[in-house]
Amino acid sequence: MAEDDNSIAKPDSVELVIEAFQSGSLERIQAIADEVHPGDVEVAFERLDEVVRSEVLAQLPSELLAEWADYLPAADVGRRLITLPPVEQREVLESLSDDELVDLLQGMEEENRPQFIDLLPEGKRIVSEDLMRYPEATAGGRMTKAMAAISEGLTVKEALDELETLRDEAEVLSRIFVLDPDGRIQGIVRLRDLAFSTWDTPVTELMNEDLMAIGAMQDQEEAALMIARYDLMALPVVDVENRLLGVITHDDALEILEQENTEDMEKISGIGGDHGEQAYLQTSVLSHFKRRFGWVLALAFLALISGWVLHAYEEILTSYFILAIYLPMVVAAGGNTGGQSATMVIRAMALGEFDTREFGRVIWKEARVGILMGSLLAVCVALQIQFLLPAKLVPETISTLTVALVVGASLVAQVFTSTLVGAMLPVGAKMARLDPAVVASPAITTLVDVSGCIIYFSIAQFAFH
């Protein structure tokens, strides 16, 4: 994504942009464009309601659209683009960075795509068609070809002369890749090393051969994690023969991680479907409904199993109604601890802190955590029952101590099993090549609700008879 260092961010910049957009005045919008960074425009645009956003897009001139196109959602840029004449369409398309242009083209209807590709200059058209060969969620699908690369046989002066022609095209000029005649990466050299070396110094003496790279078909999240882990300005993307295809820059890595984290959070919460580029306020009520209702409906019917369990233990629940007071707590404790365990394990897997070969260590750790939490919780609740529970609530056929022991033992068993389930499901899903986030909190909560009822009433039935 292009950077603009000429604008200075101000605390109230976003509010000023929103006010300009809501005014409906093109003069105010054009005036504010000279004062704020396009990143502030992006945030302001996300906070507009659908009506105002559509009105702003409808009157946005091509020069402003070209200036902001890298920052606005591709779907919105595409909607405005098709209303412009070809000359202005070309202006906007040429302003887009490689990766944003590909996102725009991939998001279009297939029948509209060729007419926009034909408007591109030959070089940009070749680059776009090349990038569109890679799936969107891969390193190749997120890379840009706007990079600085030089031949390995050059001197410092020759390298600087060659870079002179690339200075307006490369997104990251501080890291320069050194290639052999076949385009394979031999190393990387920093611009400052070139700037402070004598002109006749061979570039190979300055380059660092210890270079990280990623294959074009590898997942975009892996690329972003590599950039974060190794503190890279740009990560080279290579083919199977180690030939340089493009780079993923640090700002793209931030976008990827935000996208992946959003996706995981939504899956953990039982929200399905594709999030897309639309912000929360820009997403229609119907879209929110469609993405949430499926899980809610499925889990609602699964929760009926808990009702059948209660029906199966109706006799003991009727005879010892004291059990109804502590049933919600036992069930909720399992849902909470199971959800915590799943979240911790999914996060650790996402950060690469362990792999499936260490499954046993993960289960053993979570088992100990479950025992400790369940035991401490059981002691606290048992003391409450023993010393604070009114005696009139306890049936004459059992003692307060018996109730305390039943509830305490149920809590230990429920928290222990829920913690194990919370850890085992994501790891098991990973081993089965499924998305761990899909089997997280909603499914775990429903599962441990059922198990909690069975554990609680089974222990009570054993103790009271």
Summarised one tens digit per residue, pLDDT across range 377-431 is 999 999 999 999 888 888 888 999 999 999 999 999 999 999 998 888 888 877 8
Domains and CATH numbers, the chain: 13-133 (1.25.60.10), 147-247 (3.10.580.10), 285-464 (1.10.357.20)
* pLDDT digit string, tens, across residues 76-98: 888 899 899 999 999 999 998 88
State the pLDDT confidence band at 433, using cuts at 50, 70 and 90.
confident
How high is the pLDDT of residue 367? 93
Rounded to the nearest 5°, which phi and psi values hold at 48? -80, 150
Whether 17 contacts 44, CB under 8 Å: yes
For residue 273, is pLDDT > 60? no
Whether 233 contacts 249, CB under 8 Å: yes
How high is the pLDDT of residue 138? 92
Whether 463 contacts 402, CB under 8 Å: yes
How high is the pLDDT of residue 436? 72
How high is the pLDDT of residue 4? 46
Rounded to the nearest 5°, which phi and psi values hold at 68? -105, -5
Rounded to the nearest 5°, which phi and psi values hold at 121? -60, 155
With a pLDDT cut of 90, the percent of the chain lying above it is 34
How high is the pLDDT of residue 9? 46
State the pLDDT confidence band at 31, using cuts at 50, 70 and 90.
confident
Which of 154-168, 405-419, 429-443 is modeled with the greatest confidence?
405-419
State the pLDDT confidence band at 129, using cuts at 50, 70 and 90.
confident
Q: How much is the average pLDDT of 6-26?
A: 75
Of 250-264, 274-288, 362-376, which gets the smallest average pLDDT? 274-288
| Residue corresponding to tokens 């441990």 | 448
Spatial separation of the C-alpha atoms in residues 201 and 52, rounded to whole Å: 59
How high is the pLDDT of residue 267? 63
> Which are the contacts of 196, defined by CB distance < 8 A and separation ≥ 6?
none
Spatial separation of the C-alpha atoms in residues 235 and 214, rounded to whole Å: 7
Q: How much is the average pLDDT of 345-350?
A: 80
Whether 445 contacts 335, CB under 8 Å: yes
Of 73-82, 249-258, 426-435, which gets the smallest average pLDDT? 426-435
Q: What is the CA radius of gyration of the chain?
A: 30
State the pLDDT confidence band at 272, using cuts at 50, 70 and 90.
low
Q: How much is the average pLDDT of 329-342?
A: 89
Q: How much is the average pLDDT of 197-218?
A: 92
* pLDDT digit string, tens, across residues 358-384: 888 889 999 999 999 999 999 999 999
Cross-strand partners of 248: 235
For residue 2, is pLDDT > 60? no
Q: How much is the average pLDDT of 13-42?
A: 87
For residue 5, is pLDDT > 70? no
Of 149-153, 383-387, 461-465, which gets the smallest average pLDDT? 461-465
How high is the pLDDT of residue 291? 67
Identify the residue with better confidence: 411 or 310.
411
Q: List the structure tokens of 59.
A: 């009157």
- HEC per residue, the chain: CCCCCCCCCCCCHHHHHHHHHHHCCHHHHHHHHCCCCHHHHHHHHHCCCHHHHHHHHHHCCHHHHHHHCCCCCHHHHHHHHCCCCHHHHHHHHHHCCHHHHHHHHHCCCCCCHHHHHCCCCHHHHHHHHHHCCCCCCEHHHHCECCEEEEECCCEHHHHHHHHHCCCCCCCEEEEEEEECCCCEEEEEEEHHHHHCCCCCCEHHHHCECCCCCEECCCEHHHHHHHHHHCCCCEEEEECCCCEEEEEEEHHHHHHHHHHHHHHHHHHHCCCCCCCCCCCCCCCCHHHHHHHHHHHHHHHHHHHHHHHHHHHHCHHHHHHCCHHHHHHHHHHHHHHHHHHHHHHHHHHHHHCCCCCHHHHHHHHHHHHHHHHHHHHHHHHHHHHHHHHHCCHHHCCCCCCHHHHHHHHHHHHHHHHHHHHHHHHHHHHHHHHCCCCHHHHCHHHHHHHHHHHHHHHHHHHHHHHHC
Q: How much is the average pLDDT of 242-269?
A: 81
For residue 169, is pLDDT > 80? no
State the pLDDT confidence band at 307, using cuts at 50, 70 and 90.
confident
How high is the pLDDT of residue 201? 94
How high is the pLDDT of residue 1? 46
Identify the residue with better confidence: 331 or 271.
331
Q: How much is the average pLDDT of 233-259?
A: 89
For residue 295, is pLDDT > 80? no
How high is the pLDDT of residue 164? 87
Mean pLDDT of the chain: 85
